[in-house]
Amino acid sequence: MEYDYDLFVIGGGSGGVRSARLAANTGAKVGLAEEYRYGGTCVIRGCVPKKLMVYASEFAKSFQNAKGFGWTIGETRFDWSKLIAAKDDEIHRLEQIYAKNLKGAGVELFDARATLSGPHAVTLSTGQVFTAKTILVATGGTPFVPPVPGSEHAITSNEIFHLESQPKRMLVVGGGYIACEFACIMNGLGTETTQFYRGEQILRGFDGEVRGFVAEEMRQKGVNLHVGTDVTKIEKIGDVLQVTCTNGQKHEFDTILYATGRVPNVRDLGLELAGVEQGRKGQIAVNEYSQTSVPSIYAVGDVTDRVNLTPVAIREGVAFVETVFHDNPTSPDHDLIPTAVFTQPEIGTVGLGEEEARDIEDIEVYEATFRPMMHILAGNSERMLMKLIVSKATRKVLGCHIVGHGAGEMIQLAGVAVKMGATKEDFDATVAVHPTAAEELVTMKTPVR
């Protein structure tokens, strides 16, 4: 049978764009449909605009720190509208680059919503119907808001980037990395910020000591963090949002941000019509080669709910193209993925946390907590945490955890060593770079437990 396309991609985010471009480079005829904007969650309403806002939120602390080093700082004032306008300009620039690169590779673009209408067919919102030998679903994820009475008055991480004015009082609901990052951002920008999380401690899934360390530092910086607390009702009274929480207390806010997790973006996608199997959370079920239960349909990225990170979606896309267009079956590697959380202070982590590692084997824990040199003259109480989890049997570093300024940059390079299987003795044999915070990673000689 002759098809309209060798590959049709649904979704113009990180995974879909990389897959489409690489497939087109092989000479394949590729079509891609994106219903909103090229770049997906990461570029348009995720990692990129968030990091720009993180930078903006850190300047207040920098101005304060500068005084300890002899600088006289005049009156400072933050303009929300200028930040949002500058952010919008940069996102527009990046979006244009994504579209240009796709077109340059020969991918045919459709600014439309696409749905599956069979194992080899897609239907666009324009009414067009196309056939394809292979279809790739890369529709990503979408924020989940629990069914709390009045939750329609809340916003999500999608909307926060487009608020016309800065909230004076804001509630962030959730305890994952998105909730914690936005609580820190808004606090740093001068918004009176409260955070509710229903669990015992924020950042579930991370090393326990890291979780407690970051929570305490967030509180020290002014975030009004309440764990074991959830919202039972939201009422709009004039311009004020009144929240009733689980202990019966009522609080008033200008804006409520729900960051209570994300779910696969599969609504009305036609998965059932095409016969594609889904998991319990609605995620598209795939095998080790990102192939669904329908042999001609593949899926990559957050819609598969494997490891929901932009670089992972890109790696999955690369492996998909190797498998389908280079006849080289390739499974994406999801082991030992370094990641950063841009809280304040930020987190860099790779490998196992202490609790997780102890459940597997006997370990040694090496750690250091200290005030970085930069903070001493500034009179800043912020501390850093460095932590290595080491196997007693093999001496391999099973996990590396950093909390503090530059943690994200450090963990990228530490991640190379951990991925290669470096031992504690390999770390010890590396000469320290002085004076840096990172030198602590190679100077911890005695386990603390």
Tokens for 51, please give them: 């990091």
Q: Is 156 exposed, middle or buried (0-12, 13-18, 19+ CB in 10 A)?
A: middle
Cα separation, 442 vs 431, whole angstroms: 7
C-alpha span between 303 and 285 (Å, rounded): 9
Determine the Cα–Cα distance for residues 103 and 106; give it in Å rounded to an integer.
Answer: 5
Tokens found for residue 2: 């002759």
Q: Is 434 a catalytic residue?
A: yes
Tokens of 86: 């500058």
Q: How many CB atoms lie within 10 A of CB 28?
A: 19
Which residue among 120, 162, 226, 434 is the active-site one?
434
Name the token pair of 65.
Answer: 């720190």
List the one residue out of 25, 84, 6, 3 whose CA is nearest residue 318: 25
Give me the amino acid identity at 149.
P
The DSSP annotation for 119-133 comes to TTEEEETTS-EEEEE
Per DSSP, the three-state class of 110 is strand
Amino acid identity for residue 177 in this structure = Y
The residue to which tokens 């940069």 are assigned:
90
- Residues noted as catalytic: 434
